[in-house]
């Protein structure tokens, strides 16, 4: 099992190379970000809400326990802080880059799926009555009995985005990815029975669950919205993590796939260099042997010629 050489693959030495090999992934992330913005701008489907349906939609309209601006902090900034902390320990740009890429993919894919379903379904929130009729006086169509809202348009628009819960799906996407990441780094499944490691792994999921519960407590979502958002975020984060990292129970579960691929390519290059050098050495040895053989033949010929001349001269003398 190869270990990461601390400081061998830093942002300065290999950062540009790693980013260049994943330019297409970063462009897809940009496209997902633009899509997410568009999905939040367009008007959601306004589902029929009859007068008799208002019984379950009269929960009080109140502020969020977890505000909208806090969701990116919980789902992106907090996991990224842990990833950065690990980079300063091991100085591995492959891990830093692919963890950040996987985290952003996890959150943005989850966000696009969540908001696309929100806009398509248009389910009213539990506090929809007070969004639609802030003065408490319900107005309905005399024929269809559909609501005829008198409230602020932006508040009513947000009231048609109950299913699934965006707070929940984003939290489970980002913190779910962090849970996968921690389990690989601390080797939670090394068969040594350290239950404390599981506590570290489950801590991000607990935080995501608390965010999900707050959505029901604030009457912004039905329990089905929260449950579906948790399943969606967890599923997407799992796929995104395993796209860049081996499973945590794997022997090499602590590092990204790209790191081990880079090691394999480097090993193959070294083997190819060492395999070509002996051939050249053998060729030079053969050439030297041939030269030595030719010189020996020429020497033997000269010696033979000298012996013949000496023999003829002695015959003439006699």
Cβ-proximal residues to 155 (8 Å cutoff; 6+ apart), any chain: 131, 134
Catalytic residue, chosen from 46, 221, 222, 257, is 221
Average pLDDT for 35-49: 95
Compute the distance between CA of residue 215 and CA of residue 56 in angstroms, rounded to an integer. 16
**Per-residue pLDDT tens for 67-111?**
999 999 999 999 999 999 999 988 888 899 999 999 999 999 999
Catalytic residue, chosen from 97, 160, 167, 222, is 167
Compute the distance between CA of residue 24 and CA of residue 1 in angstroms, rounded to an integer. 31
Evaluate if residue 238 carries a pLDDT over 50.
yes
Q: What is the pLDDT of residue 128?
A: 96
**Per-residue pLDDT tens for 267-293?**
776 676 666 555 444 443 434 444 444
What string of H, E and C letters represents the secondary structure of 53-67? Answer: HHHHHCCCCCCCCCC
Helix or strand holding residue 103 (H, E): helix 93-121
Cβ-proximal residues to 189 (8 Å cutoff; 6+ apart), any chain: 183, 248, 249, 253
Average pLDDT for 112-116: 98
**Range from 146-150, 233-237, 313-317 carrying the lowest mean pLDDT:** 313-317
Residue 221 known to be catalytic: yes
Q: How far apart are the first and last CA of the chain?
A: 87
Q: What is the pLDDT of residue 308?
A: 41
CA atoms within 13 A on the CB side of 32: 18
Residue 167 known to be catalytic: yes
Confidence of residue 314 (pLDDT cuts 50, 70, 90): very low
Tell me which DSSP letter residue 158 carries.
H
Q: What is the mean pLDDT of the chain?
A: 84
State the Cα angle at 185 between 182 and 193, rounded to 5°.
85
Confidence of residue 310 (pLDDT cuts 50, 70, 90): low
Q: What is the pLDDT of residue 292?
A: 47
Compute the distance between CA of residue 209 and CA of residue 172 in angstroms, rounded to an integer. 8
User: In this structure, are residues 169 and 230 in contact, taking their beta carbons and an 8 Å threshold?
Assistant: yes
Residue 95, number of CB atoms within 10 A of its CB: 25
User: In this structure, are residues 265 and 259 in contact, taking their beta carbons and an 8 Å threshold?
Assistant: no
- The pTM of this model reads 0.81
């Amino acid at each position: 099992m190869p270990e990461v050489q601390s400081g061998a693959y830093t942002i300065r030495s290999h950062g540009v190379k790693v980013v260049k090999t994943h330019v297409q992934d970063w462009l897809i992330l940009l496209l997902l970000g633009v899509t997410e913005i568009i999905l939040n701008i367009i008007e959601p489907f306004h589902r029929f809400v009859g007068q008799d349906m208002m019984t379950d939609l009269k929960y009080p309209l109140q502020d969020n326990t977890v505000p909208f601006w806090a969701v990116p902090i919980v789902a992106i900034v907090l996991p990224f802080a842990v990833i950065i902390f690990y980079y300063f320990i091991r100085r591995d740009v492959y891990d830093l880059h692919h963890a950040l890429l996987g985290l952003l993919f996890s959150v943005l894919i989850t966000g696009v799926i969540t908001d696309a379903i929100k806009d398509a379904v248009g389910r009213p929130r539990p506090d929809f009555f007070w969004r639609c009729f802030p003065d408490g006086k319900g107005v309905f169509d005399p024929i269809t009995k559909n609501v005829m809202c008198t409230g602020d348009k932006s508040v009513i628009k947000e009231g048609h985005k109950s299913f699934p819960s965006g707070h929940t799906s984003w939290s489970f996407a980002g913190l779910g990815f962090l849970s996968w990441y921690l389990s690989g780094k601390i080797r939670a499944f090394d068969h040594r029975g350290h239950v404390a490691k599981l506590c570290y792994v489950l801590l991000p999921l607990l935080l995501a669950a608390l965010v999900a519960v707050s959505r029901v407590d604030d009457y912004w979502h039905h329990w089905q919205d929260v449950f579906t958002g948790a399943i969606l975020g967890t599923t997407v984060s799992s796929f995104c993590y395993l796209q860049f990292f081996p499973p945590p129970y794997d022997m090499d579960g602590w590092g990204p796939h790209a790191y081990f691929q880079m090691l394999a390519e480097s090993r193959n290059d070294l083997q190819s260099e060492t395999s070509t050098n002996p051939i050249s050495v053998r060729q030079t040895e053969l050439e030297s042997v041939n030269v030595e053989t030719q010189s020996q033949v020429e020497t033997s010929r000269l010696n033979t010629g000298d012996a013949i001349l000496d023999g003829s001269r002695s015959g003439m003398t006699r």
